[in-house]
Structure 1
Amino acid sequence: MSINYRKTAQQVLELIGGEENISSATHCVTRLRIVLNDTDQVNTEELERVEAVKGSFYSNGQLQIILGNGVVDKVYKELMEITGREEQTKDEAKEDAANRGNPLQRAIKVLADVFIPILPAIVTAGLLLGINNILTGEGIFFDGASVIDVYPQWADFAEIINVIASTAFVFLPALIGWSVVKRFGGSPLLGIVLGLILVHPDLMNAHAYGDAVAAGEDIPTWSIFGLEIEAIGYQGQVLPIFVAGIILAKLEVFLRKYIPNSLQLLLVAPIALLLTGFLAFIFIGPITFAIGNWIIDGFIWLFGTLPMLAGLLYGALYAPLVITGMHHTFLAVDLQLTTTADGTFLWPILALSNIAQGSAAFAMYFVLKNQNLKGLSGTSGLTAWLGVTEPALFGVNLRFRFPFLCAIIGSSIAGMYITINQVLATTVGVGGVPGIFSIQIGSWGAFAIGMVIVIIVPFISTLLVGRVMKPKSLNE
């Protein structure tokens, strides 16, 4: 049956409280994204009964209505025509939503705005490092030997892959510098330069700093105006460039405001970089380096001392964190663990949590009778297994509640199991079934068992609850 886009737009408009309740509106590939003046005016139950609507949820201060690819843009145009509004960009709608949140929500939004743009580079690097691990890992295909040991002609191929893949992590501060300076209104190129400054090869590598201190070796220093400044780099560190990037952007904006246009090219960038660079090496770097290490040490202590409890809790909490957007805060921890420790114990649980939500969505395909919802369950379950959980999470599992809880039970059990077995990821990769390629070779067996748990437990428990207990939510 063909969709009447005009009628759909009119129905949506009526059920979200009318034109006067819209602060801003935009759309992505599959969803309308609307910032509302009053969320209480939305009739969610009736909204999700509209023929073209496949689900709705709130995220990042926006009501997001799932319409699907090829439908959402047509409905959006009709909505704009009915209301007489001009089309808006996603950035404009995001900014509107960000200004409405409380301080915690705005802080989380900043983290998301900074780290989401660099995720493609990080995930790509993780996948490529996974390929390198397959080629160089011993005991995968041959007893006590790797692929390149048996077939030396592949050694250089693996080396090139390693160089390409590791670049994103070697120059991680440059990526973060670009993103954070752009987010705060500065010149992204200056953010890249600042990040590269913090990993300059003339500085003592941050990875060698701890060993040097433990061995009692001298740390190279600069002596400036009576100050002794340690000449160390911040490879693999997140907080130093994050804070320094904010200061650089704010300083650049300030200077552009007061320096005449004719002199900006000569003065703004040199002054901003010079001042921020000095602040980074004198104050920002040492302070944030210590704070970052305290945070990492805290996680390592918790997962090392109470692995069963820590794995269980993180497995249970990750999906709820996705709902609030707070999961972005842990990406910074993951990135630092992969570059400064033996690997990250958090990210494997993330990957299993995503698979669990997909498994629960797959089970709903056999529970639901509505053909539109059955189709959404199948496709969203597949995307969750490939690392994108939002369609399954918001479109299916949270809508009926019990699949969400069944998925959490599965991810909690699996999280506890892989934490007890000390499963680590060497990189941040695709957070789903392909995630096994980012896991350390020796932990593949334990992680595979974790995958079996998050496939079977959520699927069977969701199926049983849906078919046997028939919860009230199925009739809502």
Structure 2
Amino acid sequence: MNHVEIAEKLVELLGGSGNVVSATHCATRLRLVIDNEDLVKKEEIDDLDGVKGAFFSSGQFQIIFGTGTVNKVFTHFGPLVGATLEEEDSNKKESHSDAAKKKMNPFARFARTLSNIFVPIIPAIVAAGMLMGLLGMMNTYNWVDPESGLFVLLDMFSSASFIILPILIGFSAAKEFGGNPFLGAVIGGIMTHPLLLNPWGLSDAQPEVLDFLGFGVELLGYQGTVIPVLLTVYAMSHIEKSLRKVIPNIVDLLLTPFLTVILTGFVAMLVVGPLGRALGNGITAALDFVYNTAGPLAGLIFGGLYSTIVLTGVHHSFHAIEAELLVSVGGNFLLPIWAMANVAQGGATLAVFFKTKNNKVKGIALPAAVSAFLGITEPAIFGVNLRYRRPFIGAAIGGALGGFYVVFTQVMANGIGLTGVPMFAIAKDPLNYGIAFLIAIVGAFVATLLLGWKEEGK
């Protein structure tokens, strides 16, 4: 593969360097913001050597090359369109993320904002989830005495991420909303202050009520909560921006943080915090009701529809709900359902690999299937299954069957973000998760072969 030639050809098929507003890449794909999408020759790009699929999504034109290859292509492609991977580039008028958001509808922009806030936090929650899984096995199989120093320390390590979750969210959210990230972390710290009763892990404890100007303020902390701190930091960012407009530069460093923390602190404790808590409790109660009432039927529907939801980009907003569930319900019952939909895409792609006579599709399908089994579905969805349509339907059938089983056996996860094989590390019931894993793959594989598809002419 000649990466220089591919990069040059890409620029031509994208309508020239001037048609590329911004460019970056992730682990497997080039992510491009395009000025005039009508100038993009998608079918010819699909036929380029090394390209595993191309699609418009979330305000971007994304070209799948695969791990390793995408880095080499971008090395030559970036300079041709004036792109850089550096986050802080004084010559750039706006970031790639901002350019992409301008191309999205309001709902997709909202979902992307939540994704940008929670994706950086996922490693902390994954680490905590894996520790919880390890502790669960230690306790179940009596590997270690629960009163031992080792168990107590590991338990402390596992709960830390959830106790300081508002601080992590505060930092990340302030950065996304355009506020000072450290002030966002301070607001998270206020909402988890030691003087406030820590509700995380408690059920019957009652907080003290403080009299403030005739208002009764409950001294109840927000450890482990999500929505209250999101709303509060959003308010903080607007307060900070408004203050910077009116405070003279000479005293900005002193007065803006001082007034921002005071005003936002009152807003958090008196208004936004309690409202956010009520909203978060309402969302989790509604989901818990559906989960316990509809049961496996809910898993069947959500498992079948999740991949379609992925096409809209709305799935990016689910991280916030899943994080709330982890604390309020004690486990994430949505993630196993999403995992079934993802691995089912791999099962459908595997069926295409075995049956297709198109050598290029074969070359794409096998690594795409493996990628889907590891939780990365874009190569399978956009590179293979949507191209033929019926395999995508077959994957939906497999996802529905797997979703039905994980809800029927009440499989939950200790974290967010990991699906496919990696989710075994945070699954509370690895055995039933493994059975559901096979059901989803085999169901999608068989359904795809039965549905069949029309091979491309060339």
Normalised by the length of structure 1, the TM-score is 0.87
Match of 2:444 in 1: 458
> 1:61·1:97 contact (CA, 8 Å) conserved in 2?
yes
Quote how far apart the aligned CAs of 1:98 are: 0.2
- Alpha-carbon displacement from aligned partner over 1:108-158 (angstroms, at most 9, x marks no partner): 1211111111112222222232222222224xxxxxxx2225xx8x95434
Q: In 2, Cα distance between the equivalents of 1:48 and 1:289? A: 47
C-alpha distance 135-382 of structure 1, shift in aligned 2 (>3 A): farther
Q: In 2, Cα distance between the equivalents of 1:424 and 1:124? A: 16
Quote how far apart the aligned CAs of 1:82 are: 4.7
Match of 2:95 in 1: 92
- Alpha-carbon displacement from aligned partner over 1:132-186 (angstroms, at most 9, x marks no partner): 2222224xxxxxxx2225xx8x954343333223211121111111110011122
Match of 2:281 among 288, 293, 312: 293
Quote how far apart the aligned CAs of 1:20 are: 4.3
Match of 2:192 in 1: 199
> 2:319·2:417 contact (CA, 8 Å) conserved in 1?
no
SS at match of 1:64: strand
Q: In 2, Cα distance between the equivalents of 1:116 and 1:15? A: 32
SS at match of 2:21: strand
Structure 2 matches for 1:48-447, cutoff 5 A?
A: 48-82=46-80, 85=82, 87=84, 89=86, 92-138=95-141, 146-148=142-144, 155-207=148-200, 211-212=204-205, 219-428=207-416, 430-440=418-428, 443-447=429-433
Q: In 2, Cα distance between the equivalents of 1:307 and 1:342? A: 17
C-alpha distance 95-228 of structure 1, shift in aligned 2 (>3 A): same
Quote how far apart the aligned CAs of 1:245 are: 0.9
- Deviation larger for 400-409 or 10-19: 10-19
C-alpha distance 286-115 of structure 1, shift in aligned 2 (>3 A): same
Q: In 2, Cα distance between the equivalents of 1:389 and 1:50? A: 21
- Deviation larger for 334-343 or 284-293: 334-343
Q: Which amino acid aligns with 2:208?
A: P
Match of 2:454 in 1: 472
Structure 2 matches for 1:31-50, cutoff 5 A?
A: 31-50=29-48
> 1:24·1:88 contact (CA, 8 Å) conserved in 2?
no
Q: In 2, Cα distance between the equivalents of 1:424 and 1:43? A: 44
Percent identical residues: 39
Q: In 1, Cα distance between the equivalents of 2:247 and 2:178? A: 17
Q: Which amino acid aligns with 1:452?
A: L
Quote how far apart the aligned CAs of 1:57 are: 1.9
Q: In 1, Cα distance between the equivalents of 2:46 and 2:323? A: 38
Quote how far apart the aligned CAs of 1:329 are: 1.9
C-alpha distance 362-233 of structure 1, shift in aligned 2 (>3 A): same
Quote how far apart the aligned CAs of 1:323 are: 2.1
- Alpha-carbon displacement from aligned partner over 1:275-328 (angstroms, at most 9, x marks no partner): 111101100011111111111111111111111331111111221222222112
> 1:26·1:89 contact (CA, 8 Å) conserved in 2?
no
Q: In 1, Cα distance between the equivalents of 2:440 and 2:407? A: 14
Q: In 1, Cα distance between the equivalents of 2:65 and 2:406? A: 37
SS at match of 1:211: coil
Match of 1:10 in 2: 8
Match of 2:91 in 1: none
Q: In 1, Cα distance between the equivalents of 2:395 and 2:299? A: 15
Match of 1:25 among 23, 44, 60: 23
Q: In 2, Cα distance between the equivalents of 1:407 and 1:69? A: 23
Q: In 2, Cα distance between the equivalents of 1:239 and 1:20? A: 41
Quote how far apart the aligned CAs of 1:203 are: 0.8
Q: Which amino acid aligns with 1:390?
A: E
Quote how far apart the aligned CAs of 1:453 are: 0.4
Gaps of 5+ in 1: 139-145
SS at match of 1:63: strand
- Deviation larger for 383-392 or 114-123: 383-392
SS at match of 2:32: strand
C-alpha distance 52-450 of structure 1, shift in aligned 2 (>3 A): closer
Coordinate RMSD, CA, aligned: 2.6
Quote how far apart the aligned CAs of 1:354 are: 2.1
Q: Tell me the matched-pair count.
A: 452
Match of 2:434 among 438, 441, 448: 448
Q: Which amino acid aligns with 2:272?
A: I
C-alpha distance 171-327 of structure 1, shift in aligned 2 (>3 A): same
Quote how far apart the aligned CAs of 1:10 are: 3.5
Quote how far apart the aligned CAs of 1:402 are: 2.5
Match of 1:141 in 2: none
- Deviation larger for 358-367 or 271-280: 358-367
SS at match of 1:472: coil
C-alpha distance 72-344 of structure 1, shift in aligned 2 (>3 A): closer
SS at match of 2:314: coil
Q: In 2, Cα distance between the equivalents of 1:243 and 1:326? A: 19
C-alpha distance 77-423 of structure 1, shift in aligned 2 (>3 A): closer
> 2:374·2:422 contact (CA, 8 Å) conserved in 1?
yes
Quote how far apart the aligned CAs of 1:192 are: 1.6
- Deviation larger for 343-352 or 357-366: 357-366
Q: In 1, Cα distance between the equivalents of 2:196 and 2:140? A: 32
Q: In 1, Cα distance between the equivalents of 2:162 and 2:329? A: 13
User: Which runs of 4 or more aligned residues in structure 1 lie more than 6 Å from their structure 2 counterparts after TM superposition?
Assistant: none
- Alpha-carbon displacement from aligned partner over 1:188-222 (angstroms, at most 9, x marks no partner): 1221221122122211223478635xxxx6x4122
- Deviation larger for 93-102 or 264-273: 264-273
Quote how far apart the aligned CAs of 1:224 are: 1.7
Q: Which amino acid aligns with 2:184?
A: G
SS at match of 2:162: helix
Q: Which amino acid aligns with 2:438?
A: V
Q: In 2, Cα distance between the equivalents of 1:208 and 1:445? A: 27
